[in-house]
Structure 1
């Protein structure tokens, strides 16, 4: 969870998220440096009162202000494309689940032990006794940690957005289409998220909660999932 007044991203549970944070910080440092340099040059020109209206050519300066920005763009573009490739690489996941957006709640589907498709609806709970206000749900999605996971996202009615900041995850849920994204969470914990698309009047009341647990405990949970109240065979 982010702390009050925090000016940076949340600590990422997904290993790609750490590289995204480093990339964001590097780009911000580059932007601040360029802005500071430009402001310094503008201030120096205004202070000296020099006029450069009669300059006819300055090939060295033109070369510099063409080559250096090009190198900056290449330095930003290469790691950006590499991170996009890593975030889209599915590979061979060990566990897959499907998140379906509704007005205004989420439902989850995944495979059971006997080739059955199991699913349940996840609604926001009232009050703050059981967790965070406007963020906790009655049925959490449970997934294994330290294991490749494929998350498939779709919608039943309007466009939603499945966003979990702790995983640097944000996927549009579009009716009639399935978007998928991989993730590998490196530790156990409970991650919170919300719909990040304005999908209607109760848009802010459809939170996302994913509980990551060790694989051994997940296998036990998976073996008795049919007996849990609210879980249905599809």
Structure 2
């Protein structure tokens, strides 16, 4: 989990402000929320707390909100170096959003998280979670692995391996050359093993496809035979009635 977020109630409690005061700042676009929970409650990023602190300092100096708004439009609020280096806020998914995108239940998302298979990118003090878009294809892959017969414990091992590989990609210099080589060789072996299993599955799927196509033809043939038998039976019955 990388960043803290706050639901509206958590944010109000953190900044010791009233609902009316926050509404005023938002109306003047001095403070902005970054998204909504599943029940449409706004949530806020960590830097919004520092924005409030700066707004209050300007208010203490005697500036009305209209003047503070003009100041922000011209020069902006002071930022910490960590804020400047952060990328722009990207769209994030709530538990419900992620579940809907992957066609699973929110309970399944929470279960996978409890096992450490997936992890939220942001979490509030009250347990509200947000996930980046990257989890959508990964959750679809998890579903695939379950269809392939993998247990969640096995998928957890693979998820840990994937995260370790991402860490290598993002910051190769944080590992020694020898450490990197060992990790890469291990990843290659894991990859080759998975490819071999998938090839076995492909062969199995092909066998089943051929069998099912054959049985489908046989089924249609039997249906036709049965239909003809019914017609012949009706013809015989009509002949008997005539006699």
What's the TM-score bracket when you normalise by the shorter of the two chains?
Answer: under 0.3
**TM-score if structure 1 supplies the norm length?**
0.26
**TM-score if structure 2 supplies the norm length?**
0.25
Higher relative contact order (CA 8 A, sep 6+): 1
More helix per residue: 1 or 2? Answer: 2
Please say which structure displays the higher CA radius of gyration: 2
